[in-house]
Amino acid sequence: MVHAIRIHEYGGPEALRWDEVEVGEPGPGQVRLRQTAVGLNYIDTYHRSGAYKLPQLPAIIGTEGAGVVEAVGPDVTTLKPGDRVGYAPLIGAYAESRLAPADRLIPLPSWIEDRQAAAMLLQGMTAQFLLRSTYAVQPGDTILVQAAAGGVGQILCQWAKHLGATVIGTVSSDEKAELARAAGCDHPIVYTRENFVNRVKDLTDGQGVPVVYDGVGKTTFMDSLDCLRPRGFMVLFGAASGPVPPLDLQVLAAKGSLYVTRPTLFSYVAKRDDLMASAADLFEVVHSGGVTINVGQTFALRDAADAHRALESRATTGSTVLLP
Ligand SMILES: NC(=O)c1ccc[n+]([C@@H]2O[C@H](COP(=O)([O-])OP(=O)(O)OC[C@H]3O[C@@H](n4cnc5c(N)ncnc54)[C@H](OP(=O)(O)O)[C@@H]3O)[C@@H](O)[C@H]2O)c1
């Protein structure tokens, strides 16, 4: 038996329970992992609250982790006991030990520490597809990143800067503005007191930006549209402030033939080749020093409820790691 954080019904952070669970032996295609670090992500709060429904309850939530292979299933030839691996996105992460499909695991190079892997795989591969695929950022672009001091936000700022872009970012406080600036955000805007649409227009000589990366959702979405230049890309990749209400598509014509997309990492790395290519791109930019992974805080895994409270009250910065 090992410990895991499970929910028995959807709810607030108090729904997270430190339960004893049985892991068992790996079946065909599976390995058993002893987990050394687990990543905290905003999606974990959607799974906990029921905003995203799980196939069944009780369930172990969490979608990112790193650890050591303890045992492999009968037909697994690509991994062996003792190998260090990480993974994302894969539900069932909030556990001391777990079973996982071998073909969703990413071998970790020796220079990546377990905590760093658990902090960066999900948020880093998200930044990778957002900046390289959804809208391919070009040198000379000026872009807008909402919640620039957050986990995905700090990686987006650094990577976009590395690609040669000028980065405008929003944050809720002066302290977060400094963190965003340190992550390469050229123009942090404290959107709790400043009108970010006016600032973006000022900073772009009235033109607007070619792309907005918006993981905040409800409270920023419509204003984000007003930051775009004609034919710009509205990339809504999350809903930290709540879901965006239905949109009248005619608005996109009126505001300049805009594009809107609602991408998720799951569809960008569904195939193993795409997963490995995304991870390789991320590892390269981190290894080269183009992106530094900032673990802003850690919590014991058993205190996951405190971590959720901190994340949902905007008290975290950068990435957060839970330690089994
Ligand atoms: N589509 C995908 O595949 C994918 C993958 C990973 C993450 N995401 C999304 O990306 C977003 C960021 O994820 P993350 O894990 O890196 O979290 P995070 O950015 O570290 O935390 C969320 C941030 O959102 C901002 N925020 C604004 N209004 C908020 C509100 N009412 N309540 C809580 N936070 C609010 C806060 O920054 P300020 O205090 O500066 O406002 C907060 O720190 C989330 O929406 C997440 O779902 C999507």
pLDDT of residue 253: 98
Give mean pLDDT, residues 192-198: 98
Using most ligand atoms within 8 A of CB, pick from 38, 40, 41, 42 the residue to mutate for ligand 1.
Answer: 42
pLDDT of residue 174: 98
Using most ligand atoms within 8 A of CB, pick from 40, 269, 291, 314 the residue to mutate for ligand 1.
Answer: 314
Q: Which two tokens mark 199?
A: 């600032």
Query: 3-class DSSP state for residue 197?
Result: helix
Position in ligand 1 atom list of the atom nearest CA 217: 45
C-beta neighbour count of 139 within 10 angstroms: 8
Give mean pLDDT, residues 88-98: 98
pLDDT of residue 9: 98
pLDDT of residue 90: 98
Position in ligand 1 atom list of the atom nearest CA 151: 16
In this structure, are residues 208 and 229 in contact, taking their beta carbons and an 8 Å threshold? yes
Ligand 1 centroid distance, CA of 122 (Å) = 13
pLDDT of residue 264: 98
In this structure, are residues 93 and 65 in contact, taking their beta carbons and an 8 Å threshold? yes
* CA 187, chain centre distance (Å): 22
Position in ligand 1 atom list of the atom nearest CA 176: 40
**Which residue owns the Cα nearest ligand 1 atom 6?**
123
Ligand 1 centroid distance, CA of 153 (Å) = 8
What is the radius of gyration, based on Cα positions, of the chain? 20
In this prediction, residue 153 has a pLDDT band, given cuts at 50, 70 and 90, of: very high
C-beta neighbour count of 237 within 10 angstroms: 22
The pLDDT tens digits of the residues spanning 245-296 come to: 999 999 999 999 999 999 999 999 999 999 999 999 999 999 999 999 999 9
Burial 239-261 (b: 16+ CB within 10 A, else e): bbbeebeeeeeeebeebeebebe
**Which residue owns the Cα nearest ligand 1 atom 47?**
238
Residue 200 to residue 82: CA distance in whole angstroms: 50
In this structure, are residues 87 and 67 in contact, taking their beta carbons and an 8 Å threshold? no
Ranges assigned E (strand) in 105-203: 106-107, 142-145, 166-171, 187-190
In this structure, are residues 148 and 169 in contact, taking their beta carbons and an 8 Å threshold? yes
Q: Which residue has the tokens 């520490």?
A: 113
Q: Which two tokens mark 136?
A: 């391919």
Diameter of the chain by CA atoms? 62
Residue 318 to residue 176: CA distance in whole angstroms: 10
pLDDT of residue 98: 98
| Four-residue CA torsion sign, 37, 314, 122, 13 | positive
Ligand 1 centroid distance, CA of 23 (Å) = 31
The pLDDT tens digits of the residues spanning 15-37 come to: 999 999 999 999 999 999 999 99
Report the percentage of the chain scoring pLDDT > 70: 100
Position in ligand 1 atom list of the atom nearest CA 319: 20
Work out the mean pLDDT of the chain and round it to a whole number.
98
CA angle in degrees (0–180, nearest 5) for 311-122-214: 65
Position in ligand 1 atom list of the atom nearest CA 46: 47
The residues lining ligand 1, judged by C-beta closer than 6 Å to any ligand atom, are 41-43, 122-123, 126, 147, 149-153, 171-172, 176, 215-216, 219, 237-241, 263-265, 311-312, 314, 316
